[in-house]
Every structure is written in structure tokens, then in C-alpha cells.
Structure 1
């Protein structure tokens, strides 16, 4: 198997894992929030940890969604000027935008990692006494993955592999 074939298979596996995680998290959020509503309105109470857990799930869902959007360069973009630029300079502008995005994501990953270290040091707890950093690991992982993906977009703009040319 060629390296290109292996990379394609790994990319497909990563996409599938992200998509499945997104579906599981969204379904879990909907079910948990619905059950909380039923408990509060009809049973009289609710799970004390559920609201905080739902907030953490929103964080995970948001970052996994951003990672999924970054894999195909489908993030929200204001590219009005890019549409009217001459075709000759469009790739250069795209490279600059991807490098900027990658740099910002890299910085966010770095400082998220520092934040996780502080959370470990101060032993911050969430819900029923679980370490907060377990749930916050998505921050450096998500931003780190987006940093790498946008560097990949730079590489594809500069040097597309034969199977990437459409």
C-alpha cells in the first residue's frame, strides 16, 4: 500500500470517528436535556450534575463541530473580497488566510494546554468531584487538530498531490 493510500484510509477513519462522536454527543445532549425537563416538570427534581454536564457537552460538541468544519475548510468565512480577486493572487491570499488561521489555532492549543496544567495544579473539580481537566482536554486537542488541518490546507494549496487535484 502506498503512503497516499494509507493517508486516505486514515483520513477516512478520522472523519468517521469525528462524525460518530458528533452524532453520539448530540443525541446524548438531546436525551439528557429532555429527561431533565421531564424530571423537573413531572417528577419534581432532576439530576444535580446534569446541567453542568450539558454545558461540558456543548463545549465538546462545539469543538468537534469546528474540527469537522476545518477538515474541509468549511468554517464560517467572510470571503467577499476573495470572490472578486484575480485568479492569480487567490492562492496566495488563501495561503495567508490558512497560515493565519493555523497560527491562531496553534496559539489557542498552546494556551489551552497551559490552562489544563493549571486546572490539574489547582485540582479543580466538576459535577460530582471529577477532575475538570478530563472534560477540558478537548480544548488543546481540538485547536491542535485544527492548527494541523489548516497547515494541511496550505500544503494542498501550494503542492496538491495527484489525487487531490479535481
Structure 2
């Protein structure tokens, strides 16, 4: 199995996991939000952990969707220069952008893991949920590692000067 075919296999496998996470976490956020609003405004009660849980699942779902946006090249980017540059120059610009994004993701993951280590050392927990803070803070470096993995896959499979899903689009 070549490196490119292994990257394509990993790409497809990650896509399924990302789709599942986005759906499950979005539905969980919807359920938590509806439950809290119903309890608060209909029954004048509620759970104090609900707000924190709602925020956590929403943020995790949106970060997962961001990872998915990297796969589909639908993240925010400046496209004007590559679109007017000659194809070889545009390809170099796109590879440079992916390398810069990869570097940033790796840096943020590393900084995040340093902070998670600090939070573990402090051994604090959320008063609303009782969940250890380091577990909650682990979401960010984990997602940054997934972003980095997506950029690595893009580099292995090949960064086109103009992504295929945008070709023919107006």
C-alpha cells in the first residue's frame, strides 16, 4: 500500500468518524438546549450542569466541523492571488498555505497540551459538572492534532492549485 493510498484510506475513515461526531454532538447540544429551556421556562427549574455541557458539546461539534472544512477545503482562505497566478505559482502558494496552517495547528496543539498538563497538576474541576478541568481543556489540543492530521493528509494526497469540488462552481 502506497503512502497516498494509505492517506486516502485514512481520509475516508476520518470522514466517517467526523460525520458521526458532528451528528451526535449536534443532536446532543440540541437536546440539552431544548431540555434546559423547557425546564427553565415551563417548570421554573433546571440543571446547573446543563449550560456547561451544552457549551462543551457545541464547541466540540463546531471544531469537528472545522476539521471537516479542512478536508473539503471550505475553510476561510484568501483565494484571489492563487486564482490569478499561473498554475505552478498557485500550487506553490497553496502548499505554502497548507504548511503554514499545519505549523500553526502543531504549535497550538503543543501549547494546549502544556496547558492540559498544568491543569492536571492543579487538579481542579468544574463546579457545575464536576468534570476535571484538564479533561475539558483536552478538547482543544486534540482538535488541533486532528486539524494537523487533515493538513498532513492534504499534503500527502496532493494540494491542487484549484480544489476539484470548486471546479465548475461559479
Q: Could you say if the C-alpha distance between residues 65 and 113 of structure 1 is closer, same or farther in structure 2, counting changes exceeding 3 Å?
A: same
Q: Measure the CA separation in 1 of the matches of 2:88 and 2:65.
A: 32
How far apart are 1:10 and its partner, in Å?
Answer: 3.7
* Secondary structure at 1:18 match in 2: helix
How far apart are 1:125 and its partner, in Å?
Answer: 0.8
How far apart are 1:6 and its partner, in Å?
Answer: 5.4
Question: Which residue of 1 is the match for residue 64 of structure 2?
Answer: 64
Q: Could you say if the C-alpha distance between residues 77 and 7 of structure 1 is closer, same or farther in structure 2, counting changes exceeding 3 Å?
A: closer
Q: Measure the CA separation in 1 of the matches of 2:82 and 2:5.
A: 33
Q: Measure the CA separation in 2 of the matches of 1:80 and 1:7.
A: 29
Q: Measure the CA separation in 2 of the matches of 1:96 and 1:36.
A: 46
Question: Which residue of 2 is the match for residue 22 of structure 1?
Answer: 22
Q: Across the two proteins, how many residue pairs are aligned to each other?
A: 158
Q: Could you say if the C-alpha distance between residues 80 and 5 of structure 1 is closer, same or farther in structure 2, counting changes exceeding 3 Å?
A: closer
How far apart are 1:158 and its partner, in Å?
Answer: 7.0
Question: Which residue of 2 is the match for residue 149 of structure 1?
Answer: 150
1:67-86 deviation digits (Å, cap 9, x = unpaired): 11112322111212221111
Structure 1 unpaired stretches of 5+: 160-166
Bigger mean CA deviation after superposition, 5-14 or 38-47: 5-14
TM-score by length of 1: 0.85
Equivalent pair of 2:106/2:145 in contact (CA under 8 Å)? yes
Structure 1 vs Structure 2 CA RMSD: 2.0
Equivalent pair of 1:91/1:157 in contact (CA under 8 Å)? no
How far apart are 1:7 and its partner, in Å?
Answer: 4.8
Equivalent pair of 1:36/1:50 in contact (CA under 8 Å)? yes
1:33-60 deviation digits (Å, cap 9, x = unpaired): 0111111111011111101111112221
Q: Measure the CA separation in 2 of the matches of 1:81 and 1:10.
A: 31
Question: Which residue of 2 is the match for residue 139 of structure 1?
Answer: 140
* Secondary structure at 2:22 match in 1: helix
Equivalent pair of 1:66/1:75 in contact (CA under 8 Å)? yes
Question: Which residue of 2 is the match for residue 163 of structure 1?
Answer: none
